[in-house]
C-alpha cells in the first residue's frame, strides 16, 4: 500500500514567503520527493488543527479510496465528506516551483506573508508560522509520551511478526538493543 512506501517522503520544516498573488515556493526538498509522473501537482485542502494539507496525487488517491469506503448514510461520514472534499483544490506548480494558495484556505489557516511547510511523511502541511509555533508549544509536553507509544507499537509489530514466523532480526527492540 502506498502509505507504507518510502518512494516519496516529506520531512523537515521550512518557512517561505507568500507573495501578493498568494503564491509560495514549495521547498525544493519536497519537490524532489514528488513521485515520478505526478506532473508537479498537489491537492490542497483544509487540514486538521488549522492548517492546509498538501497531497501528491498517488497519496491523495489513498484518501479518496478511504472516503469511498465510508457509509453514505452515516451522518458523521457525510459531514466529513461535505467539509473535506468540496474544499480540495488540485493545483499545478509553476515553472519556479511555486503553488498558488487558494484564498479560502489561507484564510482558514491564518497564512499571511509567510507559510511554514511541515513534512509528515507521505504528505505535508502548510501552516501560519505563528500558528504552528503555538501548536508545537501546546503539544510539546506530549512528545515523550507519544514517542514511547511509537516505540511500543514497533515492539508490538515485532512480536506479531515473530508469532507469524517472520522474525525481523535487523530491528532492535527493547529486549535486544545494544
pLDDT for position 39: 72
pLDDT for position 98: 96
pLDDT for position 165: 56
Rounded distance between C-alpha atoms, residue 119 and residue 52, angstroms:
12
Widest distance between CA atoms in the chain: 58
Closest CA to 103 of 10, 4, 23, 9: 23
pLDDT for position 34: 86
170 pLDDT more than 90: no
What percent of the chain shows pLDDT beyond 90? 50
3-state secondary structure of 24: strand
Q: Kindly report, residue by residue over 94-150, the tens digit of the pLDDT.
A: 999 999 999 999 999 999 999 999 999 999 999 999 999 999 999 998 988 888 887
pLDDT for position 177: 40
Residue-range domain boundaries for the chain: 2-127, 130-171
**CB-side exposure of 122: number of CA atoms within 13 Å?**
14
172 pLDDT more than 70: no
pLDDT for position 7: 62
pLDDT for position 176: 38
Q: Kindly report, residue by residue over 34-79, the tens digit of the pLDDT.
A: 877 767 899 999 999 999 999 998 888 888 888 888 888 899 989 8
What is the pLDDT confidence band of residue 161, given thresholds at 50, 70 and 90? low
162 pLDDT more than 80: no
| CA 117 vs CA 25, 52, 150, 156, 177: distances in Å | 10, 10, 23, 32, 34
pLDDT for position 65: 86
Convert 29-39 to b/e letters by CB count within 10 Å (16 or more is b). Answer: ebeebbeeeee
Thinking of the domain 2-127, which architecture would CATH place it in?
A: 3-Layer(aba) Sandwich (3.40)
Amino acid at each position: 500500500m502506498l502509505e507504507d512506501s518510502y518512494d516519496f517522503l516529506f520531512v523537515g520544516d521550512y518557512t517561505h514567503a507568500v507573495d501578493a498573488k498568494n503564491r509560495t515556493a514549495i521547498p525544493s526538498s519536497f519537490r524532489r520527493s514528488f513521485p515520478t509522473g505526478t506532473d508537479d501537482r498537489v491537492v490542497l485542502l483544509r487540514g486538521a488543527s488549522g492548517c492546509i494539507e498538501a497531497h501528491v496525487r498517488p497519496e491523495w488517491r489513498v484518501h479518496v479510496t478511504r472516503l469511498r469506503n465510508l457509509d453514505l448514510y452515516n451522518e458523521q461520514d457525510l459531514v466529513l465528506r461535505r467539509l473535506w472534499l468540496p474544499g480540495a483544490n488540485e493545483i499545478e506548480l509553476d515553472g519556479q516551483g511555486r503553488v498558488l494558495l487558494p484564498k479560502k484556505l489561507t484564510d482558514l489557516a491564518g497564512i499571511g506573508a509567510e507559510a511554514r511547510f511541515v513534512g509528515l511523511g507521505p504528505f505535508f502541511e502548510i501552516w501560519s508560522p505563528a500558528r504552528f509555533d503555538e501548536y508545537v508549544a501546546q503539544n510539546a509536553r506530549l512528545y515523550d509520551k507519544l514517542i514511547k507509544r511509537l516505540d511500543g507499537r514497533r515492539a508490538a509489530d515485532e512480536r506479531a511478526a515473530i508469532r507469524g514466523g517472520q522474525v525481523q532480526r535487523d530491528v532492535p527492540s527493547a529486549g535486544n538493543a545494544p
